[in-house]
Structure 1
Amino acid sequence: MAVPLSVSDAALPDSSTAREWMSYRDRTWARMDTPEQPMVVTIVLLLTAPLDQTRLRATLRDRLLPFTRFRQRLVLDGARYVWIDDPAFNLDAHLHWSRLPEPADQRVLEERVGELCGEPLDFSRPLWRCVVVENYGAGGALVFRIHHCIADGVALLRVFLTLADRGPEPSSPIAIREERREQARLAAKTAKRSARPSGWLPRLRWNMAFAGTLLRQSLMGPDIHTALRGRLNGRKRVAWATPIPLAEIAVIRERLGGRVNDVMLTAIAGALGRYLEARGGLRPKLAVRVVEAVNLRPYQDEIRLGNEFAVIFLTLPLDLADPVARLALVRTRMAQVKASPEAVANLALIDLVGRLPAWLERVVLRLYGMRGTLVMTNVPGPEHPLYLAGAPVARVLAWVPQITGIGIGVCVLSYAGAITVGIVTDSGVIADPWELVTGFEAEIAQLRTHALE
């Protein structure tokens, strides 16, 4: 497991005395790294024109490095984790240029991204890395990897947006500020209200529900064992689906009901069912739990790093072949979870785990990881096309790390009027995530057909 150096071992000069204590919540994610499961968020940009090295470097220097976390290291000061400025920071140590072996197609890029997803970051440096793949498609690809202890997916996407422009030329300061406000509004739409209600009776009811939920979460048993779970080997595989126009999802929602997230969960459940059915593992009333991230950030004009999200456990029905019936059941279950304080209860547990000794945290997280079969996150992205250092961004893809013991991750990300679903698996559980992608696309096609009937 990668761990920070202690202050005494870090050999820092006296000028590096400024420090910032890491929150207990972020410390949970910092200590969650295992050899098989690095806690690193991976974002991939597919470009339609080559990146200029000098301009990209200037963009990172002028727009990314003002966020102090990207110039800081994490060290141990006694039992506490501390952010400190890295006196040896060098941008070139975090920016790498590479080429794919021929034929340099999507499968080859997926293999390379999978390799990167399995590599831990170096705790002796700031916890991020940027890899430019020069020979993919018309313009190449950029792979951006950031440790989860720096920020959650919503905040990291907003950081990425500060690097981008709406046109090939750099945006004006006014346009940049307006872009930040727009993305803040979009992110706030997905946020779950975490504050307790006002009034003594509503607050009493909320507190009782919170206590009951906290008890149920603490006593939750392991998820059912299927071919979707297994021993992790640390070798990651990634794949991504064909973009789905948001207009098509809107038709499904209008005719069949539900939100975008409900439709995605329904299709993912169908894909998992297809995978098990092909192996003789699908049986009546079979269901598995998905661990889904829930945004708890209120509207924030300025970008604030750190983790302000929680997770919920949702039971996905895998035995329902009818996608319409499956969607109805997913909608009902999701509405029940959203109406409960489960997300806030799990946030309290995450904060508590960060206060435990490291050895006890590993035990708790191992038990926590047994409760679900896959991790899923849904992040709203920009609604219009963007440019990075003058190069048009055709698609934005992302993959999130999985909690200890879970071998499947799904990320739903919208960009420029379309949704892309990225899937990452540990090859010890699923050797080829394309089988899940194919099943997902077939399920979306079925939902579309039913919506148009």
Structure 2
Amino acid sequence: MTSSSKLESDQPLTPAGRLFLRPEINQIIHCVIGLRNSIDVDSIKSQIADSVMIQHPRFSSLLVRDPNGVEYWRRTSIEVDRHVIVVSDPVSDDGASNENAVNDYLADLSTSSTMDINKPLWEIHLLLAHNCVIFRIHHALGDGISLMSLFLTCCRRADDPDALPTIVSDSKTARKARQKRWAEELPKMLLALLMTVWFSFLFVGEFILRALWVSDRKTPISGGDGVELWPRKVATAKFAVEDMKAVKNAVSNATINDVLFSVIGAGLSRYLEHRQPNSLKEGLQLTGVAMINLREQPGLQDLADMMKGNNGSRWGNKLGILLLPVYYHKKMSDPLQYMKRTKKMIDRKKRSLESYFSYGIGKFVMSWLGAKVACILNYRIMCNTSFTISNVIGPKEEISVGGNPITYIRATSTSLPHAITMHMMSYAGRADMQILVAKDIIHDPEFLAKCFENALFEMKMAATTLNVK
């Protein structure tokens, strides 16, 4: 849809929002909700019509473009029936389990056409035969954390139907730890400042080189230009949060994100050894791209103010990029070595300003050179690295929507030039990681998921043995 004139009420897109609309990147988030009981379609539509989501400006706005091609949000009326897609029959004819059938449906969505811009950019797919709801939301509407917070305003705790879910933000915990560390290092402040400058110089330099020509070496998991168009498969790796905490506690000052990335490194090493035994160089670097939210995760009680801009924080996308390397190693005698090496690398990343630089340079390029140039740079970073990883913290207790208990919450997205895209979502003591792969490159994602699960199990056993000693 185009617009010949801009209205006073129109709101501009964020730089990241404009980037996510480019056809080369075009990012749509798929949030998958499993329900214990059967789905009442009329009840779901009624809840949507009465929800906070419908009141949100982004969810009730059309995407329009002015004569110069600049995108804006324009408020419109919502017809719920246009946004709810009901799938009554099983989505698979081969007798697949609910999980495999839903994953196949997600794989098809990941390479499907972009969303209809003649209506606000969101849909809800109801898979009645699988007791599953899929929220299909364009990334231009907001970042994953904001969208998750918005969804949770429609939910209630299973043990207290009047109470909102609780989100524990790992970023707040990490921030407190950093504040404590800075206080302890106050006498060494100059050294800390020099380290920040040094690591920022190193990592920002690498970021620029990745956007230009420096690339990972080709391996059996490498993607590249055009791979985003290839057919996909989806598999799910399942972790217990308690197991991740056990590994975290085995290494001083570690975080859950340290554990996750250690599992990624160990799991990919296992998988590559399976695909090309004894043919890869020890220590080979595989670089991951992680989108970092540069805002605090909003509490549900603050969400209404955030929607209106009353608390000084704009809705939208404020994301930086971190390049996170992992290294191929044959099986180590001590699985916790993955954790120790990963923590050292991530601690250096935390000391740098890489994520803020990447956001700032992206905003600058978008503003002065346009979305096309910004897209080219981001696309090259994707082509020159090996995988995408994200982690969103969900509610810590079981919740329900419309009185129907939720059994799992998972997330994935549309495809990228990477052959592997991984999204982890925690919920009620569990953490499920959706692994989206180009199936002509990685034909056995279920085995890859098992590699990640086994990597965490071995780390947990090593941590348990360490505690016993």
What range describes the TM-score normalised by the shorter chain of this pair?
Answer: 0.7 to 0.9
For each residue in 1:37-63, what CA deviation from the matched residue of structure 2 results, as whole angstroms up to 9, or x when unmatched? 540111101111112222211221222
For each residue in 1:91-143, what CA deviation from the matched residue of structure 2 results, as whole angstroms up to 9, or x when unmatched? 1111111132342512222111211222222222211111011112xxx1111
Match of 2:70 in 1: 80
Match of 1:344 in 2: 356
1:47 aligns with 2:35: yes
Alignment of 1:209-248 (within 5 A): 210=200, 213-220=203-210, 221-231=214-224, 232=227, 233-242=229-238, 244-248=239-243
Match of 2:289 in 1: 291
Equivalent position amino acid for 1:255 in 2: A
The structure-2 alpha-carbon separation of the partners of 1:245 and 1:276, relative to structure 1 and needing over 3 Å to count, comes to closer
Q: 3-state DSSP class of the match of 1:28?
A: helix
Match of 1:118 in 2: 111
Alignment of 1:318-397 (within 5 A): 318-322=328-332, 323-355=335-367, 356-397=369-410
Match of 2:250 in 1: 255
How many angstroms apart in 1 are the aligned matches of 2:257 and 2:193? 31
The structure-2 alpha-carbon separation of the partners of 1:405 and 1:437, relative to structure 1 and needing over 3 Å to count, comes to same
Give the TM-score, by structure 1 length.
Answer: 0.85
For each residue in 1:244-286, what CA deviation from the matched residue of structure 2 results, as whole angstroms up to 9, or x when unmatched? 3222222222234532112211122222122222221533121
Kindly indicate whether the alpha-carbon contact (under 8 Å) linking 2:270 and 2:331 is maintained by their aligned counterparts in 1: no
Equivalent position amino acid for 2:157 in 1: R
Kindly indicate whether the alpha-carbon contact (under 8 Å) linking 1:229 and 1:373 is maintained by their aligned counterparts in 2: yes
Equivalent position amino acid for 2:85 in 1: H
> 1:370: how far off?
2.4
Give the TM-score, by structure 2 length.
Answer: 0.82
Kindly indicate whether the alpha-carbon contact (under 8 Å) linking 1:282 and 1:319 is maintained by their aligned counterparts in 2: no
How many angstroms apart in 1 are the aligned matches of 2:444 and 2:115? 24
How many angstroms apart in 1 are the aligned matches of 2:141 and 2:260? 27
The structure carrying a bigger helix percent of its residues is: 2
Q: 3-state DSSP class of the match of 1:74?
A: strand
Kindly indicate whether the alpha-carbon contact (under 8 Å) linking 2:20 and 2:26 is maintained by their aligned counterparts in 1: no
> 1:438: how far off?
1.2
Q: 3-state DSSP class of the match of 1:354?
A: helix
Match of 1:430 in 2: 442
Alignment of 1:273-292 (within 5 A): 273-280=269-276, 281-292=279-290
For each residue in 1:156-203, what CA deviation from the matched residue of structure 2 results, as whole angstroms up to 9, or x when unmatched? 1101101211149963xxx44xx4xx43856644679999x9x99899
Q: 3-state DSSP class of the match of 1:163?
A: coil
1:266 aligns with 2:255: no
1:61 aligns with 2:49: yes
Kindly indicate whether the alpha-carbon contact (under 8 Å) linking 1:381 and 1:415 is maintained by their aligned counterparts in 2: yes
Q: 3-state DSSP class of the match of 1:321?
A: coil
How many angstroms apart in 2 are the aligned matches of 1:299 and 1:165? 19
Match of 1:134 among 96, 116, 128: 128
Equivalent position amino acid for 1:76 in 2: R
Kindly indicate whether the alpha-carbon contact (under 8 Å) linking 1:110 and 1:239 is maintained by their aligned counterparts in 2: yes
Q: 3-state DSSP class of the match of 2:50?
A: helix
For each residue in 1:45-98, what CA deviation from the matched residue of structure 2 results, as whole angstroms up to 9, or x when unmatched? 1111112222211221222101121111111112321001235x4211111111
Q: 3-state DSSP class of the match of 2:289?
A: strand
The structure-2 alpha-carbon separation of the partners of 1:297 and 1:167, relative to structure 1 and needing over 3 Å to count, comes to same
Q: 3-state DSSP class of the match of 2:141?
A: coil
Equivalent position amino acid for 2:71 in 1: Y
How many angstroms apart in 2 are the aligned matches of 1:227 and 1:374? 12
Equivalent position amino acid for 1:390 in 2: G
The structure-2 alpha-carbon separation of the partners of 1:168 and 1:250, relative to structure 1 and needing over 3 Å to count, comes to closer
Kindly indicate whether the alpha-carbon contact (under 8 Å) linking 1:74 and 1:82 is maintained by their aligned counterparts in 2: yes
Equivalent position amino acid for 1:250 in 2: K
For each residue in 1:396-450, what CA deviation from the matched residue of structure 2 results, as whole angstroms up to 9, or x when unmatched? 1111456x52221111211111211111112243233212101111111211221
Kindly indicate whether the alpha-carbon contact (under 8 Å) linking 1:239 and 1:434 is maintained by their aligned counterparts in 2: yes
Match of 2:312 in 1: none
The structure-2 alpha-carbon separation of the partners of 1:153 and 1:333, relative to structure 1 and needing over 3 Å to count, comes to same
Flag structure 2 segments of 5+ consecutive residues without an equivalent: 307-314
Equivalent position amino acid for 1:166 in 2: R
> 1:207: how far off?
6.9
How many angstroms apart in 2 are the aligned matches of 1:399 and 1:192? 30
1:152 aligns with 2:143: yes
Match of 1:311 in 2: 321
> CA-atom RMSD, angstroms?
3.0
How many angstroms apart in 1 are the aligned matches of 2:447 and 2:106? 18
How many angstroms apart in 2 are the aligned matches of 1:369 and 1:109? 27
